[in-house]
Amino acid sequence: MFEFRLPDIGEGVAEGEVVQWFVKEGDTIQEDQPLVSVLTDKANVEIPSPRSGKIVKLHAPVGQKVKVGGLLVTIDAPAGPSASSAASPQAPPASAPATAPVPGAKPGPSPPAPSSSDRVAASPYLRRLAAERGIDLTKVRGSGPGGRVVEADLVGGAPSAAPPSTPSPVAEPRTRPEGAAPPPASSGTGTPLSIPASEIAERVPIRGLRRVIAEHMAEATHRAAHFTYVEEVDVSELVRIRDRMAKHVEKQGTKLSYLPFVVKGVVAGLKAHPRLNATVDDARSELIVRSKYHLGIATAAPDGLIVPVVRDADTKSVARLAREIGDLAERGRAGKLSRDELSGSTFTITSLGLLGGVMATPILNYPEVGILGVHKIQRRPVYRPDGTIGPADLMNLSISLDHRMVDGLEGAQFLAVVKGYLEDPHQLFAEMA
- 69-83, 326-340, 395-409: which range is least confident on average? 69-83
- Is the pLDDT score of 197 beyond 60? yes
Q: What value does the mean pLDDT take over residues 382-393?
A: 92
Q: Would you give the end-to-end CA distance of the chain in angstroms?
A: 66
Gyration radius of the chain over CA positions: 25
CA nearest neighbour of 116 among 168, 180, 160: 160
Instruction: Please give the average per-residue pLDDT across 180-191, as a whole number.
Output: 49
Integer CA distances (angstroms), 380 to 122, 233, 261, 331, in order: 54, 12, 21, 36
Q: With beta carbons less than 8 A apart as the criterion, state whether 25 and 54 touch.
A: no
Nearest to 34 by CA among 101, 97, 98: 101
Tell me the average pLDDT across 206-230: 85
Of the listed ranges 171-185, 205-219, 330-344, 394-408, the one predicted with least confidence: 171-185
Phi, psi of 255 (to 5 degrees): -80, 130
The model's confidence at residue 179, banded by pLDDT at 50, 70 and 90, is very low
Residue 87 has pLDDT above 50, yes or no: no
Whether residue 232 contacts residue 374, with contact meaning beta carbons closer than 8 Å, is answered with no
Q: CB 314: neighbour CB atoms within 10 A? A: 17
pLDDT computed for residue 176 by the predictor: 41
254-299 pLDDT, tens per residue? 999 999 999 999 999 999 999 999 999 998 999 999 999 999 999 9
The pTM assigned to this predicted structure is 0.64
Query: Rounded distance, CA 107 to CA 125, Å?
Result: 29
**Does residue 185 have a pLDDT over 60?**
no
**Cα–Cα distance between 102 and 85 in angstroms, integer?**
23
**Residues 33-51: pLDDT tens digits?**
889 988 876 567 788 898 8
The strand pairing partners of 400, in sequence order, are: 228, 371
The pLDDT of residue 96 is above 60 = no
The whole-number pLDDT of residue 271 equals: 97
How far, rounded to the nearest angstrom, does the alpha carbon of residue 384 sit from its chain's CA centroid? 43
Q: What is the pLDDT of residues 123-145, one digit of tens each?
A: 555 676 677 677 888 888 776 54
Q: What are phi and psi of 430, to 5 degrees?
A: -65, -35
- What is the model's pLDDT at position 189? 57
- 425 vs 264: CA distance, rounded Å: 9
Compute the average pLDDT of residues 51-75.
91
Tell me whether the omega of the peptide bond preceding residue 308 falls within 30 degrees of 0, making it cis: no
Under the banding of pLDDT at 50, 70 and 90, the label for residue 79 is low
- For position 132, what pLDDT does the model report? 65
* The predicted structure's pLDDT at residue 158: 52
Better-scored residue on pLDDT, 172 or 362: 362
* Residue 83 pLDDT greater than 50, yes or no: no
The yes-or-no verdict on residue 116 having pLDDT over 70 is no
32 touches 105 (CB < 8 A): no
What is residue 355's predicted lDDT score, i.e. its pLDDT?
Answer: 76
Q: What is the dihedral of CA 90, 304, 395, 259, to 10 degrees?
A: 30
Confidence of residue 156 (pLDDT cuts 50, 70, 90): low
Active site residues: 403, 407
Q: What is the pLDDT of residue 157?
A: 54
In total, the chain counts a number of residues equal to 433
| Best CA proximity match to 348, nearest among 271, 419, 270, 422 | 270
Is the model's pLDDT at 242 over the cut of 60? yes
SS3 track for the chain: CEEEECCCCCCCCCEEEEEEECCCCCCEECCCCEEEEEEECCEEEEEECCCCEEEEEECCCCCCEEECCCEEEEEECCCCCCCCCCCCCCCCCCECCCCCCCCCCCCCCCCCCCCCCCCCCCCHHHHHHHHHCCECHHHCCCCCHHHCCCHHHHCCCCECCCCCCCCCCCCCCCCCCCCCCCCCHHHCCCCCCCCCHHHCCCCCCCCCHHHHHHHHHHHHHHHCCEEEEEEEEECHHHHHHHHHHHHHHHHHCCCCCCHHHHHHHHHHHHHHCHHHCEEEECCCCEEEECCCCCEEECEEECCEEECCEECCHHHCCHHHHHHHHHHHHHHHHHCCCCCHHHCCCCEEEEECHHHCCCCCCCCCCCCECEEEEEEEEEEEEEECCCCCEEEEEEEEEEEEEECCCCCHHHHHHHHHHHHHHHHCCHHHHHHHC
> Which amino acid appears at position 332 of this protein?
G
